[in-house]
Structure 1
């Protein structure tokens, strides 16, 4: 059975780690978390672990959910247009850690120059 022949399942039973594939069959990543609007009891989207970090795929972009995989409506080449960065603030801070260190160093050097004038 291929992913297209598997029966569809509810987002409520979708498991973490399920592969997420694009419309052209490429692997986008794996399911990290399922979001739902609890009051309305509707599917809101999924967080996907990708090589670039955690990305959010909105519900209208999810074409099919099966036990073996989740299929999205866009091709891998257009993934950046359809997904949103959902990395933690700490992950973003660590990604820019080198830049922060350089900026602090430059600030100290400017302050020292100002004091020596």
Structure 2
């Protein structure tokens, strides 16, 4: 049986540590945080950790989000010149591990 293909996921399911790649498939970073503009509840982009430090990938440059990686529309050259994150009106979204974890925390059972 062949390996299961990567499945597209919503940005809310994206986990820290997920690899991020250019449009050519070159891995250049890992996800550090997903950002949402809380004023309008819209996906704003992804903060990534690169070999040069923390950088920001705008939502306009996110091509596809899969269960095992994020594919950007950036070239390797563009990826090398990403800006620093600016989180003035942004909220860091840290997806929970599972619905059971979320419900457990809601009802006071998530304390470990």
Shorter-chain TM-score category? 0.5 to 0.7
Structure 2 equivalent of residue 49 of structure 1: 49
Structure 2 equivalent of residue 18 of structure 1: 18
Deviation at 1:75, TM superposition (A): 1.3
Deviation at 1:46, TM superposition (A): 0.5
Structure 2 equivalent of residue 6 of structure 1: 6
Runs of 4+ in 1 over 6 A off after TM superposition: none
How far apart, CA to CA, are the structure 2 residues paired with 1:44 and 1:15? 16
How far apart, CA to CA, are the structure 1 residues paired with 2:36 and 2:55? 16
Structure 2 equivalent of residue 60 of structure 1: 60
Structure 1 equivalent of residue 96 of structure 2: none
Which is higher, the Rg of structure 1 or of structure 2?
Answer: 1
Matched position secondary structure for 2:28? strand
Higher helix share: 1
Could you tell me the TM-score, scaled by structure 1's length? Answer: 0.65
Say how many residue pairs are matched.
84
1:79 has 2:79 as partner: yes
Structure 1: runs of 5+ lacking an equivalent: 88-117
| Higher RCO, Cα 8 Å, sep 6+ | 2
Could you tell me the TM-score, scaled by structure 2's length? Answer: 0.67
Query: Once superposed, what is the RMSD of the aligned Cα atoms?
Result: 1.9
